[in-house]
Structure 1
Amino acid sequence: MKKTERQNGIIHLLRMRKKMTAKELADYFDVSERTIYRDIDALSQLRVPIISYEGLGGGYEIDSSYFMPSIKLSEQEILMLLMVLKAGEEFRIPNMAADYNLLSGKLLNVLPDEERQKASQVISHINFDILRIIPMGYAEDVLKPILEAFWKSCDLQLSYYHPERNTTETRRFSPIELQFGDGGWYINGYCHLRKEKRTFRLDRIESITCVDEKNCFINRELPEPEHDKFRWNTYELMLDPALYRIIRDDVYLQNAMTRSIDNKIHLTVRTPYKDEICKLVLCHPEKVTALKPEEFLEEIKQLSVTLSGKYQNITPGSLADEEIN
Structure 2
Amino acid sequence: MSKSKRLLELMMTVNRKRKFTVKELAQEFGVSTRTMLRDLQELSELGVPLYSEVGPHGGYQVLKERILPPIAFSEEEAAAMFFAVYALRHYSSLPFESESASALDKFYLHMSGDVRDRIDQMKNRVDFVTPTRQQESPYLSILLEAAVQQKVLRIEYGSQGEEACRSIQPIGIYANNGLWFCPAYCFLRQGFRIFRCDRMHSVANDTSGMKPLDLRDVHLGNRESFFQTEKESASELYVELSRHGVQMCEAALWLGALLNIREDGTGWLEGPIPRNDLAFYARFFIGLGVEATVERPPELIGFMKTLFKEIMSKYE
Shorter-normalised TM range: 0.5 to 0.7
Which residue matches 1:224? 229
Q: 1:185 aligns with which of 180, 184, 187?
A: 180
The alignment status of 1:277 with 2:285, answered yes or no, reads: yes
Determine the C-alpha separation between the residues in 2 that align with 1:234 and 1:70: 54
User: Could you tell which deviates more after superposition, 299-308 or 87-96?
Assistant: 87-96
State whether residues 179 and 185 of structure 1, in contact with CA within 8 Å, keep that contact through their aligned partners in structure 2: yes
Shift of 1:180: 2.3
Determine the C-alpha separation between the residues in 2 that align with 1:148 and 1:71: 26
| Residue correspondences, number | 229
Q: 2:161 aligns with which of 147, 155, 164?
A: 164
- Matched to 2:187, the amino acid is H
Q: Residue 76 and residue 176 in structure 1: after superposition, are their counterparts in 2 closer, same or farther (change >3 A)?
A: closer
Partner deviation per Cα, 1:36-76 (whole Å, 9 max, x = no partner):
xxxxxx99x9499xxxxxxxxxxxxxxxxxxxx94432322
Identity %: 16
Determine the C-alpha separation between the residues in 2 that align with 1:238 and 1:147: 35
Which residue matches 1:81? 81
Determine the C-alpha separation between the residues in 1 that align with 2:113 and 2:147: 43
Which residue matches 1:37? none
Determine the C-alpha separation between the residues in 2 that align with 1:208 and 1:159: 9
TM-score normalised by L of structure 1: 0.55
Which residue matches 1:7? none
Q: Residue 238 and residue 109 in structure 1: after superposition, are their counterparts in 2 closer, same or farther (change >3 A)?
A: closer
The alignment status of 1:202 with 2:197, answered yes or no, reads: yes
Which residue matches 1:268? 268
Q: 1:252 aligns with which of 250, 255, 270?
A: 250
Partner deviation per Cα, 1:286-315 (whole Å, 9 max, x = no partner):
x7543334333222222223333x1453xx
TM-score normalised by L of structure 2: 0.56
Partner deviation per Cα, 1:152-173 (whole Å, 9 max, x = no partner):
43322233355824x5x44322
Unaligned runs of 5+ in 1: 1-41, 49-68, 314-325
State whether residues 237 and 268 of structure 1, in contact with CA within 8 Å, keep that contact through their aligned partners in structure 2: yes
Which residue matches 1:291? 295
Alignment of 1:1-325 (within 5 A): 46=45, 70-90=70-90, 94=94, 96-131=96-131, 133-139=133-139, 143-144=141-142, 146-161=143-158, 164-165=161-162, 167=163, 169-203=164-198, 204-211=200-207, 212-216=209-213, 218=215, 221=226, 223-224=228-229, 234-237=237-240, 239=242, 244=243, 246=244, 248-252=246-250, 256-258=260-262, 267-270=267-270, 274=281, 275-281=283-289, 284=290, 289-308=293-312, 310-311=313-314, 313=316
Unaligned runs of 5+ in 2: 1-40, 48-68, 219-225, 274-279
Determine the C-alpha separation between the residues in 2 that align with 1:152 and 1:259: 43
> Cα RMSD between the aligned structures?
4.2
Q: Residue 293 and residue 153 in structure 1: after superposition, are their counterparts in 2 closer, same or farther (change >3 A)?
A: same
Q: Residue 148 and residue 77 in structure 1: after superposition, are their counterparts in 2 closer, same or farther (change >3 A)?
A: closer
Q: Residue 280 and residue 157 in structure 1: after superposition, are their counterparts in 2 closer, same or farther (change >3 A)?
A: closer
State whether residues 232 and 270 of structure 1, in contact with CA within 8 Å, keep that contact through their aligned partners in structure 2: no
State whether residues 89 and 97 of structure 1, in contact with CA within 8 Å, keep that contact through their aligned partners in structure 2: no
